[in-house]
Amino acid sequence: MAKKIVLCVAVLAMVCGFSAISMAGEGPETVTIDTAKKSKSTVTFQHWAHQGRGLECAACHHTKNADGSQGPYAAGSEAACKTCHDGSLGNAKVATAKKAAHVNCKGCHKTGGKGPTKCGDCHVK
């Protein structure tokens, strides 16, 4: 009986270990977002932690259509949000990276009931 328990625990540990390795392989572990404002500190985004919660890449990443609208996610096309969200987009709600993060990230956290939603939660001084 003890051998079966040890074997089951070993198999479970291997499965969990392989799962953690496969999730950790996509993109950087953390992403530091510089707010470029002295009044707000940088934001450290826990990228791997979000992947570990089962979020698909397309939940955050997307492309830009020729007309400036949001296009579908395409693996390998990941870029800094401010590359497109630079103030030039027609949709004022997400025109800047700050606005896009507040709509997407805070919106997801409020909807899911988990994660930071207040300034000091992300912008730790």
52-78: pLDDT as tens digits = 887 889 988 999 898 888 999 999 888
Question: What pTM does this model have?
Answer: 0.67
| Contact present, 43 and 32 (Cβ < 8 Å) | yes
Query: What is the DSSP track for 50-116?
Result: HHHTT--GGGT--EE-TTSSEE---TT----GGGT-BS--S-GGGSBHHHHHIIIIIHHHHHHT-S-
Report the percentage of the chain scoring pLDDT > 90: 16
Question: Can you give the pLDDT at residue 39?
Answer: 67
46-55: pLDDT as tens digits = 899 888 887 8
The more confident residue out of 16 and 90 is: 90
List of domains in the chain: 28-122 (3.90.10.10)
Q: Tokens 């909807």 correspond to what residue? A: 111
Pick from 112, 106, 62, 58: nearest CA to 85: 62
Report the percentage of the chain scoring pLDDT > 70: 77
Question: Can you give the pLDDT at residue 93?
Answer: 92
28 to each of 2, 25, 44, 78, 96, how far by Cα in Å?
41, 8, 12, 11, 23
* Mean of all residue pLDDT scores within the chain: 79
* Distance linking the first and last C-alpha atoms of the chain: 54
